[in-house]
Every structure is written in structure tokens, then in C-alpha cells.
Structure 1
Amino acid sequence: MEQKIAVLTLTKGSYELGKKIKHHLNDTSVDLYGLEKNIENESESYKEQQFKLGFKELFETYDALICIMATGIVVRHLAPLIQDKRYDPAVVVMDEKGQFAISLLSGHIGGGNELTEKLAQVMNAQAVITTATDVQNVTAIDVMAKKINGWYDDFKKTTKHINYLLATHKKVGLYDEDNRVTDLRGLEKITQLTSEVTNSFEAVIVVSTKQFDKLPSNCYQVVPKEFILGMGAKRDTPLSTISEEFKVFSQMHQIHERSIKQIVSIDLKKNEKGIIEFSQELEVPFDTYTKEELEPSSLKYPQSEFVKSIVGIGNVAVSSADYATGGNVLTERYGHNGVTFALGKE
């Protein structure tokens, strides 16, 4: 997915540089903004023609901001807006002559460091990156997770701990049975998770979609979100029931509950409170399809006349998983307590 980038300017000189940046970053979605007296198009004006209001609006709507101005100005406007490194946009600062590109905010998760390097390359500028892992030329667990669409528990504490170990060149292992991780700087790959092996490391990163019964205390699992969960539920089924049934389903198929990247169902369920809350609990999108879209998929699988009388097709969970994955359904339909699941993978 393309990053939505806003280039913010204050002077005529910075606006002209912004035009060049927009031209050079031609493979991304870039919008240019400036003060009314400097801009060439009305759409480039800040909200109500006020930089402070415009900055806030752009911070909340774009994936990344390139600010061509003094770093102090940016810091003062950022201060009341910063919330969480997982969700804040990347912020890169550049001087008006285009000599330096500074990664200021969300260097890892937000892609600020990557954007800084790219900006420096296309504008022949000096990239200024100060995150410890980058300075020490090692990987970072949050960057790793972003690249493989991974989830891990206790994000802030774990990120701080693992990245400190990496940045200080402590011994960190990587268990990655499917070889998803490509940046191995600072890591030592292992093929076993026995205590004898893991005890020789300060920490071990375990990359897997599996639900392990118990991992050694110095192991930290990064779970790639790669499965699509087709589901159905009787009207007003509570979140507690859905969550409990999903635990059983996950254990049956030995998958970590956080390995789901999307929940899908029929559009008649788009306002079903329990499913919506379940998707929020897993922090994944919930998408629905019409009966007409799902019908060809539904005919491949066992039919329920009762379900057909309610929604118009003979199954929901498995047909949704089938449609969303182009036919790559991995499990049979699971049904209990008014909840149905089927797992698929694109």
C-alpha cells in the first residue's frame, strides 16, 4: 500500500523545494501544502489558511509528513499531537536548501527512517537518522514485525527491551522456521527451542503462527498475521461466547489467536455487535460480502437449509473464507454455540 505523504512548507523557497520533492517521489501519493501567498493551487492551502490548524489536520490524516522548515517549529507543533509510536505518522524534517533530511518521529513503525533515506537519495541530501539500532547497524524487532505484518505482546516494553539488547550487541537468537525474516543483522538463527539452546541467549525472537504450550521465559513470539477467518454468528451472540469458541478453534488447528489478519462474513452480519467487537479485540478489519458474491463459493461446501432460510445461502463462514482467499480454505467449518469459523489463507 502506498504511503500518503504531505509536504508542508512555510516560505516560497520551501514551497519550490516541495514541488521538486513531489516530482521526485513520483511513485508515491504526495500532496503539497503551503501558505496562501506562496501556493499555486487553492487545494494546497492549509485548513482555514492557518498553519497550526493545517498541521494538526495533516498529522491526523496522512501516513507521513515531510516538513521543510526549522526542526523547532515542527517539534512545537508535534508536542500536543503525539500519541503512540504504533499509530503516529512518520515525520521527516528538511531544511530549505535541501541539504539535510532528519527522521524525527516514527522512524521504525511509521517508516520515517526509510522515507528519510529515500528523500536523501532523490534530493542528494544527507540523511540524519538517530535511532539506536540503525546507528549500530542492527535490525529492530518493531521493524521486523512491520515487514512480516507481525504482532507481539506488550509492544512498548518488548520493543524497548529487545531493541536495547540488539543496539548494545547482546546475544539475540532468532527462531524462524519458515524463513520469513530477511534482515538478520544482530541476530543468530537457531533451529531448536530447547532450554539448552535458548539459555545461551539474552533473548530469542520466535517467529511463528503456532500457539506454543509454553516458551522459555527469555523467548518473545512475533506472530505473523496471515490467515483470513470466515465466520458467522447467531444474532446477538456476545463477544465472550465468540472469544471462547475461537480459543477452542485455534487450539484445534494449532494457530495463535493473533495470526488472523482479517475477518470476513456475509453483509447481513456487518452490524453484528459481537463480531465487530471481536474484530476490534484482534485489531483486524472486518469485511463483508453480499449473498450474490458468496453463492458460488457456498455451493462447494455442505449446505444448511436452516442457514439458507435465514441468509439465502447454505453456509457463511466457509463460503466467506473461500471467497476472500480465492478458494484456499484450510479447515473444515467449525460450529458451536451459534458461532461458526473457517480458516483461509491468500
Structure 2
Amino acid sequence: MISLREGEIPVIEKRKPYALVAITKHGVSHARGYAEKFPYADLYYMKKFEQGDEETRQIQLFDGTVRLLLPALFQQYKGIICIISLGAVVRMIAPLLIDKKKDPAVLVVDDKGQYVVSVLSGHIGGANALTHEFANAIGAAPVVTTASDVQKTIPVDLFGAQFGWMWDSEEKLTPVSASVVNEEHVAIVQETGEKDWWMYDREMPDSLKVYPSIDEAIKAKPQAALLITDRILEPHEEALLENGVLYRPKSIVIGIGCNRGTSMAEIEQVIDDTLAEMRLSKKSVKAVASINLKKNETGLLELTAKYNWPFITYTPEELNEIPMQNPSDTVFKYTGAYGVSEPAAMRYADAKELLLEKKKSGNVTISIAHVNFEEGNQ
């Protein structure tokens, strides 16, 4: 917990580029959901709203007035998103302002989550772009009051954030952003993930070119690249990242069956080993799915809380509606379903086939499905 004292800048643990701050009961409730929808923000809220899972979810609690927290956030974060009234935010940040080239972006979200307002560092600090991305992520209306909002291109550090995409490394964010802004040849390759990422009411500029494969993009010799995939790249494909950013869409659903009392460590090890074998990124896991008999399974609850993965369970009847790859009379005898990991993964992913049919390892059975993005139902 962060103890706030007058005249002292508190010690915080910065993990992500943006901070999300709430100080009211409703604001905290919304913020916990926002942190799941927008993966680039560390969440802070007051200790009196503690819910018990903060350490697991890496949420930072503070004790004292938020005014004393803001100096530390100003020093370390690229942007601060406040679920606090606009007037209060203006009064609190006024003593902290230095220069528009140095101040972080500041946004305000109303307590009902209806509006996201760009308050400070609109263009240079990126608040306007962040306003649009965060509003899209939480389903709110963006409010940008600068005379001309000329960004109308891809904000590299926020690309796909409204879908939960995460970049693999921040190393090339700045040079690739420069290439995009300067209208250099930027290659875009998308292997999976949501397709409706171009948000503007005009055509994409000619400098941004979409290629059907990594090999085609490499041949084109672009100045920079944006790559969207859940795969671990082959060595020759990494040439595209010499000045490129790799994004991980939420495209993998893991179906799990396990014996009662199976530890979180065993389940996690099976998932890690399986993803490594299939050369898939753990950052692209969208959810874990199982049968409702497992909805209170401690190992599964601990694991999904650790990674902030949705944990979805289905009734035996719901699982039996899915065409089984490997139906089992034995599984039916004990659960009422002819399968668990396979139909659970397929149902949540809306997939017609599996990336991985059920694999048994110790006390765990695992299956993997790709999310179906083609029909716009995710």
C-alpha cells in the first residue's frame, strides 16, 4: 500500500505507460473493468475500497488524498487517466505543470463512464489520441476541445488498445511512431485479431501499406512495420522488427479440464509448456474456459486472477451442443458432458475447429482454439 504524506513524493511501482486513478466507490467499480479493457494502464485507488484481490491483479492502493499521489504519477507516466471531476483535477495538477513538451497527457472520465475528456498535452503529449483510444475501449464518447485534432493516423503506442492488444516490447515505439507521423513507408501485417482498427472517416494514407504476409512485407523493404500476430516469430521473420512493433491480439482461448484440487502451478506449467510447443504467445490468451463444475476450482481461479484472464464456464448441456472432436463416455459419466476442454474452448472462441485437440498432462487436460474474428461476434 502507498502511504501519502505531505511534502513527500511516494514510491510507486510503474509497470505500464499509463496510470488509471479512481477515488469514489463507483469510479473504482468502473476502473476495475476499464483496466481489463485497456491493458496499458496501472490501476490506483483508495484503500477504503479494497476488495481483496489487489495484490493478485497488481492494483496499487493508496491511503490519503490523491493530490499527494499525483506528483509521482506525473514524473513516471506518459499519461494519467483520472476518474475524478474535471475541476478537481485542474486544481490538483496546476502546481505540477512545467511545459507542454514535458507534461504527461491527462484525461478525465466522468463517474458514470459516459465521457472521456482530453485535459492536458493534447497533441505533443498524446492526450487526444489517448482520449480516442480509451473512449473506444470502454465504450464512451471522446471529448477533444483543441481547435484542430490532426492525429488521423495510427497511434503506434496505442494501436489496438481498444481491443486489448498489447505490444511485445516498447523498444521501437518511438522510432516507429516517427515513421508513421513522417509518412514513411510503414508495412502492416495482420495474421489474427480484430480487423476494424482503422478508426477514421478518411482513407488510410498511402504511406501505410497492408501486406498479406511477413515475407511479402520484408521484400518490400519498408522503413518501419506494425505486425499483429499471436505466433512466436521464426528467426528470419524478426528482420521485420528491426524497426517494427509486434502486437499481441487477444486471439487464443484455452479450454481446461482438471482433477479436483489441481494446483495453480501445475495448471500454469501445462499452459506454458503447451503454448511454447505450439509457438504461441501467452500475451494473446483471451480467456480460459471450462465446465461449470469447475467454477470454484481454486487452482483455476488463482491462475485466471493472476493474469486477469476471464474464466468462463458452461453447463454440460451447453458443452454438448458443440460438435465433439473426441467425445468420451467416461467424461460424460462423471460430468454429464461428453467433453470439457475441447467444447469449452470452441464455444467461447466461436470456432469450428481446434488449434489443439485435447492433450492430457498429469491432472490437466488442455485444448486451444483460435477466436473467430471473421463474423464480427467477438
| TM-score, with length taken from structure 1 | 0.59
Q: Which amino acid aligns with 1:60?
A: V
Partner of 2:298: 273
Partner of 1:176: 190
Partner of 2:91: 73
SS in 2 for 1:333: strand
> Can you list the C-alpha shifts for 1:167-198, whole angstroms capped at 9, x where unaligned?
45555432225693436456343455459938
Within the candidate set 325, 329, 333, 2:358 is matched to 333
CA contact (8 A) 2:228 2:246 kept: yes
Equivalent runs, 1:192-231 vs 2, <5 Å: 193=214, 197=218, 200-214=221-235, 215-216=238-239, 217-218=241-242, 219-231=244-256
CA contact (8 A) 1:231 1:317 kept: yes
Counterpart CA distance in 2 for 1:310 and 1:152 is 42
Partner of 1:289: 314
Counterpart CA distance in 2 for 1:273 and 1:248 is 21
CA contact (8 A) 2:179 2:186 kept: yes
Shift of 1:224: 1.8
> Can you list the C-alpha shifts for 1:111-156, whole angstroms capped at 9, x where unaligned?
2899997556xxxxxx2289xxx6454311244222444222246x
Within the candidate set 138, 143, 146, 1:128 is matched to 146
Counterpart CA distance in 1 for 2:188 and 2:346 is 34
Partner of 2:266: 241
Q: Which amino acid aligns with 2:167?
A: Y
CA RMSD, 1 decimal: 4.4
> Can you list the C-alpha shifts for 1:17-45, whole angstroms capped at 9, x where unaligned?
xxxxxxxxxxxxxxxxxxxxxxxxxxxxx
| TM-score, with length taken from structure 2 | 0.54
Q: Which amino acid aligns with 2:91?
A: I
Q: Which amino acid aligns with 2:260?
A: R
Number of aligned residues:
267
Within the candidate set 165, 170, 179, 1:150 is matched to 165
Shift of 1:303: 0.3
Q: Which amino acid aligns with 2:161?
A: K
Counterpart CA distance in 2 for 1:205 and 1:154 is 12
Q: Which amino acid aligns with 1:152?
A: W
Counterpart CA distance in 2 for 1:77 and 1:61 is 29
CA contact (8 A) 2:295 2:313 kept: yes
SS in 2 for 1:110: helix
Structure 2: runs of 5+ lacking an equivalent? 1-21, 35-81, 98-104, 111-116, 121-126, 373-378
CA contact (8 A) 1:90 1:110 kept: no
1:116–1:244 Cα change, 3 Å: closer
Q: Which amino acid aligns with 2:208?
A: L
Within the candidate set 152, 163, 166, 2:180 is matched to 166
Partner of 2:56: none
Shift of 1:212: 1.7
CA contact (8 A) 1:317 1:341 kept: yes
SS in 2 for 1:271: coil
Tell me the percent identity. 19
Q: Which amino acid aligns with 1:61?
A: S
CA contact (8 A) 2:359 2:367 kept: yes
Q: Which amino acid aligns with 1:204?
A: A
Counterpart CA distance in 2 for 1:229 and 1:89 is 37
Does 2:208 align with 1:187?
yes
Shift of 1:202: 4.9
1:253–1:202 Cα change, 3 Å: same
Partner of 2:71: none
Structure 1 or 2: more helix by fraction: 1
Does 2:127 align with 1:110?
no
1:140–1:339 Cα change, 3 Å: same
* Structure 1 ranges of 4+ moved more than 6 A: 76-79, 112-117
Does 2:339 align with 1:315?
yes
Counterpart CA distance in 2 for 1:328 and 1:92 is 40
